[in-house]
Structure 1
């Protein structure tokens, strides 16, 4: 049994589907890693941290983005929200490949001593070098289950073909032996939507398995950013209106803490 909090290699299937003004969907694969945050801070991860490698992690890509402790960063978000007991944290992320890194979204999975998932920090980045973090938790701060759908307002500009408005619905499956994340967007008027999913098995993460995955996909992050621009070009050709990027809102963290029942 592979526990994400012990480290895991996750070959994911990623899906995006747009509806409303135009119907379009695309799929691709990418290998994510689940790495305990404490191991990253201690330099005990299964791949290089803050140093070169075919695949590597850099602490400046996460949290305060200044290379300081990731454990202190996430603790500083959880405690004010009443989630200080969710202190066992693993980071599901796309590693840097051949020195280049871009993460559309990384997920910080936070569980308590009983092993219950209590919060997920979705750290979203856009291609303009900006980021925003959605702290997902139940309104009662209880354990997050696979059927919980957590709702929050969209406050960050990501795609130039979607407005910075509407709402997100988050759903998570933290395994064991698998990982799944579903993030759906609905426009404020309810006429347009975008569904996304990232699912895959959780395999043991070792130095050997990380090295073998890096050898198979030495330019994975470059592939992801290329696919993002390709899909943007295809949407533009379909006549979808291009929206200029607004100035980023001052807040860098917001909450997705409203619960929506399955089937609504």
Structure 2
């Protein structure tokens, strides 16, 4: 059994579906790492902080980019909601040679009762980021059928306004990882659906080596696909929205319920 909090490779299928003015879908694959943050920063995993190679993970790419450790950052985010005691693993895409871009990283916090919170660290192509802390108001465990809602406060796509709200859903394994995020417009209709999910396998040195060679330049591939899809939307006449000034609020909570699967 592969536990994400012991370190894992996740072979993700990423899916986006736009609805309304233009109905469009696209899919691609990428390999993500699930890194227990304490073990990672202490150098106890096959991939180590700031180690150069086909893949690398730089702690300064995460959090507030202020030089604080990843452990310090996530404890500070969880402390206001009384979850700083949780063990945390971050699901993230590693840097490729000479380049790194993470559309989203998920910090998963659990204790002996289960998954308690997920911090979604969302980045845009303008070098900005926002942190959505997803949890229940009473901090009860998050099940794979729970839907958690929060206001959209960050500009990501030049084809979507900064309004409406997100609906988050998570599956933290074992043996898999999944995150689903829907964007609901001000009219209450689902305008964009996204998912990132796939099987998880142990983070061993041989498995890591194979994955690195197989997906050596995946960060470049992802940013190229983002721009390619943007060009297709422009050619179909979708209006480009100018980027607004980023809000001073860099973090927010998503705690609302939106029903459950039956």
Query: Which TM-score bucket, shorter chain as reference?
Result: over 0.9
Contact 1:52 1:99 in 2 (8 A): no
TM-score normalised by length of structure 2: 0.97
Query: 1:71 maps to which residue?
Result: 71
Between 1:39-48 and 1:75-84, the stretch displaced more is: 39-48
Query: 1:199 maps to which residue?
Result: 197
**Residue 138 and residue 209 in structure 1: after superposition, are their counterparts in 2 closer, same or farther (change >3 A)?**
same
Residue 30 of structure 1: CA displacement?
Answer: 0.4
Query: 1:124 maps to which residue?
Result: 122
Q: 1:220-239 residue pairs with structure 2 within 5 A? A: 220-239=218-237
Query: 2:244 maps to which residue?
Result: 246
Between 1:222-231 and 1:36-45, the stretch displaced more is: 36-45
Alignment partners' CA distance in 2, 1:256 and 1:135: 6
Q: Deviations over 1:191-237 (max 9, x none)?
A: 45100011100111112211110111110100000000000000111
1:27 aligned onto 2:27:
yes
Residue 84 of structure 1: CA displacement?
Answer: 2.6
Query: 1:95 maps to which residue?
Result: 94
What runs of 5+ residues in structure 1 fail to find an aligned partner?
A: none
Contact 1:9 1:204 in 2 (8 A): yes
Residue 41 of structure 1: CA displacement?
Answer: 1.6
Alignment partners' CA distance in 2, 1:121 and 1:151: 13
Query: 2:55 maps to which residue?
Result: 55
Which of these residues, 256, 259, 264, is aligned with residue 257 of structure 2? 259
Secondary structure class of the residue paired with 1:119: strand
Contact 2:146 2:261 in 1 (8 A): no
Query: Which contiguous aligned blocks of 4+ residues in structure 1 show a shift greater than 2 angstroms?
Result: none
Which of these residues, 146, 163, 166, is aligned with residue 164 of structure 2? 166
Q: Deviations over 1:97-135 (max 9, x none)?
A: 1131100000000001x1510000000000000000000
Contact 1:53 1:99 in 2 (8 A): no
Alignment partners' CA distance in 1, 2:174 and 2:19: 32
Alignment partners' CA distance in 1, 2:230 and 2:6: 36
Alignment partners' CA distance in 1, 2:13 and 2:165: 24
Size of the alignment, in residue pairs? Answer: 262
Residue 262 of structure 1: CA displacement?
Answer: 2.4
What runs of 5+ residues in structure 2 fail to find an aligned partner?
A: none
Over the aligned positions, Cα root-mean-square deviation in angstroms equals 1.3
Contact 2:167 2:182 in 1 (8 A): yes
